[in-house]
């Protein structure tokens, strides 16, 4: 998941796209819209996860990632000559959609492996995705220097490689839960917080001091070491379980006791945890819903409204953060600071939402949707800081927007699993984020990009110039983004009010024990594991380690750390805009395709339903490399004159890795650690 956040660094490379392709802000925002569209349409990955093994979902995601971003790179570098705007939108849509395959493969697998820790687990997993923007920034600075065009190429090959390496590790593991799982999650949290703090410190120093190449390499080396620390935690935990299991085999009284247990039919446990049908035939909250039952429920409608108002508006702010800083007179070097702040606080929001919401439920039985309403209210403040800027206000706005975006994602995925069950989770969580790219298109392309270009054309007219006389359409001043973010602030507040309806509807559900049925399942698994050990005898430590849930979780963290390429779109979008001469509207269209494919995870979901997890990750790796490598070829001029539709296709393919990573990792992890689900989303 640490490699599944390519969409989060769009602000770093968007300037390269804008300058190399000569885009105006409207075109760049259109590109950002397609980026967001690809990153948020995960229904396709979800449907694939329903019928394919996890490894196949990851395989598809890796392919779309590479295809999309590789084509964008070709366009920006000039190797793809004069790409049309629709081509660029298609490229970024494909590239960004790859993260849906990674998300679907990993989230579905992890949720099933840790069902009683789903809130914690999902927070950890998605937190690493949010942190991936800062991680990839450090790595690209070490390898390529301050060349945002090369960041597109990095986004194309790094997440692809991670998915291919670990695609067979991400799989369903049926085993009994351990009493100390929460403590292990906290150990992972400590490592993640250290990584976030180090990334923040290095970001500040890199803007204040001129770093030599060796300093960048040293910083990236420390980041890689911190990413590998969870491996030690996983090895230690698996060895403890191995010793404990072998001790149980030696003790004969345990064998006798286990043999008497099969006579007890625990799955027939009576009481309120049996599936009870409502009068209209639909299951109760917390029970497994059918796909259509969940999609057409009023609860899902409220979730979609909150997603449209929250994630849609915050994606608009994230995709435009580079141009916002430019319009307000911030130095160019400061743009990557905003991106890193967004990524780091995106991580903090996922950590906070995962751990704190789980604590509030266990101690006070507060409905988890109440936190979404609070996050939307906080987002309103962040948008107003952009609409009415003052000295340093963009720094504060970056912190608020990043935090709220990350927190909302964790809560969204966790709530869907709790209300609608885990049977079709791969499809449902991808469907739940469909409203995000729609909101991104409305607020990023139709509102932000159009109003920005209108103001920029006014400034050109005042200078006696026309659009044809300049390659890059740039707006300067506070008026460029004032009206757009007044509108987004109002929409976010409206979303908070609508979410309170969901709070009232689910209050009774969260007053009960939402994990009770998984506790009963855990008793049965303990009995089955004890019997299996008594029959098979001692196991080898290395086999237990590689096949264990904790090693699987470590691999999930690494994949999710590389599955956030869509989050750095604002970093490299400037390169796309300049190298291909795009309008801001065209760039926003590209961002839309990026968000479209990153959020349409139906395909990875369907693949995950019929294929193993490793295949899901393998496909995701392929799409990631293909998408971003093609984008890199376009930006660097190696792909001569790529059409806009080609760029949209490239980024659509590349962003698709996120869906495959989510599908393969998150679902697997949540099923492995059910009780800590909210914590899982942190990574």
Pull the structure tokens for residue 368.
């988890």
Burial of 251 (0-12, 13-18, 19+ CB in 10 A): exposed
Residue 361: pLDDT over 70? yes
- Residue partners of 114: CB distance under 8 A and separation at least 6: 121, 177, 181, 549, 553, 669, 670, 671, 672, 673, 674, 675, 676, 677, 680
pLDDT for 521: 61
Of 116-120, 138-142, 162-166, 530-534, least confident by mean pLDDT is 530-534
pLDDT for 272: 40
pLDDT for 494: 97
Q: Which domain holds residue 139?
A: 2-267+293-680
Say if CB 561 and CB 2 are below 8 A apart: yes
Q: CB 354: neighbour CB atoms within 10 A?
A: 37
Asked whether residue 361 is assigned to any structural domain, the reply reads yes
pLDDT for 275: 38
- Residue partners of 61: CB distance under 8 A and separation at least 6: 45, 98, 99, 100, 101, 102, 105, 163, 604, 616, 617, 619, 620, 621, 622, 623, 624, 656, 657, 658, 659, 660, 661, 663, 664
- 324-347: average pLDDT: 79
In this prediction, residue 322 has a pLDDT band, given cuts at 50, 70 and 90, of confident
Say if CB 53 and CB 65 are below 8 A apart: no
Asked whether residue 285 is assigned to any structural domain, the reply reads no
pLDDT for 529: 55
Q: CB 467: neighbour CB atoms within 10 A?
A: 14
Among residues 333, 337, 317, 324, the alpha carbon closest in space to that of 402 is found at 317
In this prediction, residue 314 has a pLDDT band, given cuts at 50, 70 and 90, of very high
Among residues 374, 375, 316, 362, the alpha carbon closest in space to that of 116 is found at 362
Residue 663: pLDDT over 80? no
pLDDT for 506: 93
pLDDT for 652: 83
pLDDT for 597: 61
Burial of 640 (0-12, 13-18, 19+ CB in 10 A): middle
Residue 48: pLDDT over 70? yes
- 322-346: average pLDDT: 79
In this prediction, residue 348 has a pLDDT band, given cuts at 50, 70 and 90, of confident
In this prediction, residue 500 has a pLDDT band, given cuts at 50, 70 and 90, of very high
- pTM assigned to the model: 0.68
Q: List beta partners, residue 110.
A: 667
- 634-645: average pLDDT: 85
pLDDT for 602: 63
Candidate ranges 179-188, 271-280, 475-484; pick with highest mean pLDDT: 475-484
How many Å apart are CA 244 and CA 242, to the nearest integer? Answer: 5
Residue 495: pLDDT over 50? yes
How many Å apart are CA 193 and CA 277, to the nearest integer? Answer: 43
Of 113-122, 266-275, 326-335, least confident by mean pLDDT is 266-275
State the average pLDDT for the chain. Answer: 80
Domain count across the chain:
1
421 phi/psi in degrees, rounded to 5 = 80, 180
- 604-625: average pLDDT: 76
Say if CB 31 and CB 645 are below 8 A apart: no
Asked whether residue 53 is assigned to any structural domain, the reply reads yes
How many Å apart are CA 616 and CA 659, to the nearest integer? Answer: 10
pLDDT for 258: 45
Q: Can you give the length of the chain in residues? A: 683
pLDDT for 655: 80
Helix (H, G, I), strand (E, B) or coil at 674: coil
pLDDT for 491: 97
What percent of the chain shows pLDDT beyond 70?
80
Asked whether residue 272 is assigned to any structural domain, the reply reads no
- Checking 244-249 for CB contacts under 8 A at 24+ apart, the result is 245/529, 245/533, 245/539, 245/544, 246/538, 246/539, 248/530, 248/533, 248/534, 249/533, 249/534, 249/537, 249/538
Among residues 632, 578, 575, 638, the alpha carbon closest in space to that of 80 is found at 638
Asked whether residue 644 is assigned to any structural domain, the reply reads yes
Of 250-254, 499-503, 636-640, least confident by mean pLDDT is 250-254
pLDDT for 34: 85
pLDDT for 270: 41
How many Å apart are CA 393 and CA 545, to the nearest integer? Answer: 48
Q: How far is CA 30 from the centre of its chain?
A: 21
Candidate ranges 96-105, 258-267, 572-581; pick with highest mean pLDDT: 96-105
pLDDT for 118: 72
Asked whether residue 283 is assigned to any structural domain, the reply reads no
How does pLDDT run across 74-118, given as a tens digit for each residue?
Answer: 998 888 888 899 999 999 989 888 888 888 888 888 877 877 667
pLDDT for 259: 47
pLDDT for 501: 97
How many Å apart are CA 627 and CA 74, to the nearest integer? Answer: 10
Of 74-78, 102-106, 304-308, 652-656, least confident by mean pLDDT is 652-656
| Kind plus residue range of the DSSP H or E element containing 565 | strand 562-572
How many Å apart are CA 332 and CA 323, to the nearest integer? Answer: 10
- Residue partners of 6: CB distance under 8 A and separation at least 6: 65, 69, 95, 96, 98, 99, 132, 136, 155, 159, 563, 564, 565, 566, 567, 568, 569, 624, 628, 654, 655, 657, 658
């Amino acid at each position: 998941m640490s490699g599944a956040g390519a969409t989060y660094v769009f602000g770093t490379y968007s300037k390269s796209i804008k300058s190399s392709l000569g885009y105006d802000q409207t075109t760049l925002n259109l590109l950002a819209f397609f980026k967001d569209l690809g990153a948020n349409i995960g229904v396709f990955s979800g449907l694939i996860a329903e019928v394919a093994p996890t490894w196949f979902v990851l395989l598809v995601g890796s392919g779309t990632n590479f295809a999309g971003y590789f084509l964008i790179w070709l366009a920006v570098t000039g190797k793809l000559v004069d790409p049309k705007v629709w081509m660029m939108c298609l490229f970024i849509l494909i590239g960004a959609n790859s993260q849906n395959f990674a998300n679907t493969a990993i989230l579905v697998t992890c949720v099933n492996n840790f069902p009683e820790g789903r809130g914690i687990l999902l927070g950890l997993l998605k937190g690493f995705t949010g942190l991936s923007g800062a991680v990839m920034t450090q790595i690209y600075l070490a390898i390529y220097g301050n060349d945002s065009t090369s960041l597109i190429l990095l986004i194309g090959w790094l997440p692809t490689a991670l998915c291919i390496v670990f695609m067979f590790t991400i799989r369903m593991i049926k085993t009994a839960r351990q009493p100390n799982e929460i403590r292990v999650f906290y150990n992972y949290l400590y490592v993640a917080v250290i990584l976030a703090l180090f990334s923040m410190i290095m970001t500040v120093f890199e803007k204040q001091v001129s770093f030599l190449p060796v300093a960048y390499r040293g910083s990236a080396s420390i980041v890689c070491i911190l990413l590998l620390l969870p491996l030690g935690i996983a090895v230690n935990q698996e060895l403890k379980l191995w010793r404990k299991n072998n001790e149980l085999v030696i003790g004969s009284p345990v064998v006798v006791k286990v043999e008497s247990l099969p006579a007890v039919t625990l799955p027939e446990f009576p009481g309120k945890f049996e599936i009870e049908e409502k009068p209209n035939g639909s299951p109760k909250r917390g029970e497994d819903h059918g796909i259509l039952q969940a999609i057409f429920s009023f609860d899902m409608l409220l979730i979609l409204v909150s997603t449209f108002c929250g994630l849609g508006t915050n994606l608009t702010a994230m995709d435009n953060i580079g141009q916002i800083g430019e319009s307000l007179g911030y130095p160019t070097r400061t743009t990557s600071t905003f991106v890193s702040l967004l990524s780091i606080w995106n991580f903090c929001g996922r950590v906070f939402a995962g751990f704190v919401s789980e604590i509030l439920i266990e101690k006070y039985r507060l409905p988890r949707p109440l936190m979404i309403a609070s996050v939307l209210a906080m987002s309103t403040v962040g948008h107003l800081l952009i609409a009415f800027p003052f000295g340093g206000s963009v720094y504060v706005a970056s912190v608020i927007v990043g935090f709220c975006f990350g927190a909302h994602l964790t809560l969204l995925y966790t709530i869907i699993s709790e209300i609608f069950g885990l049977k079709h989770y791969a499809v449902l969580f991808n469907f739940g984020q469909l409203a995000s790219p729609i909101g991104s298109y409305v607020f990023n392309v139709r509102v932000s990009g159009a109003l920005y270009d209108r103001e920029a054309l006014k400034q050109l007219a005042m200078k006696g110039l026309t659009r044809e006389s300049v390659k890059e359409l740039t707006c300067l001043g506070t008026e460029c983004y004032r009206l757009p973010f007044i509108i987004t602030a109002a929409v976010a507040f409206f979303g908070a009010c609508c979410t309170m309806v969901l709070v009232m509807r689910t209050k009774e559900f969260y007053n009960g024990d939402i994990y009770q049925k998984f506790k009963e399942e855990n008793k049965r698994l303990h009995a089955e594991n004890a019997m299996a050990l008594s029959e098979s005898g001692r196991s080898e430590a290395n086999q237990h380690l590689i096949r264990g849930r904790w090693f699987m979780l470590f691999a999930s963290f690494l994949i999710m750390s590389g599955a956030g390429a869509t989050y750095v779109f604002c970093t490299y979008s400037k390169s796309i805009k300049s190298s291909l001469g795009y309008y801001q509207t065209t760039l926003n269209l590209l961002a839309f395709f990026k968000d479209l494919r990153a959020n349409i995870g139906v395909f990875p979901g369907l693949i995950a339903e019929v294929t193993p997890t490793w295949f899901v990750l393998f496909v995701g790796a392929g799409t990631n490399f293909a998408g971003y490598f093609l984008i890199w070829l376009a930006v660097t001029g190696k792909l001569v004159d790529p059409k806009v539709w080609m760029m949209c296709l490239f980024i659509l393919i590349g962003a698709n890795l996120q869906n495959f990573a989510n599908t393969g990792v998150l679902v697997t992890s949540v099923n492995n650690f059910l009780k800590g689900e909210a914590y899982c989303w942190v990574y």
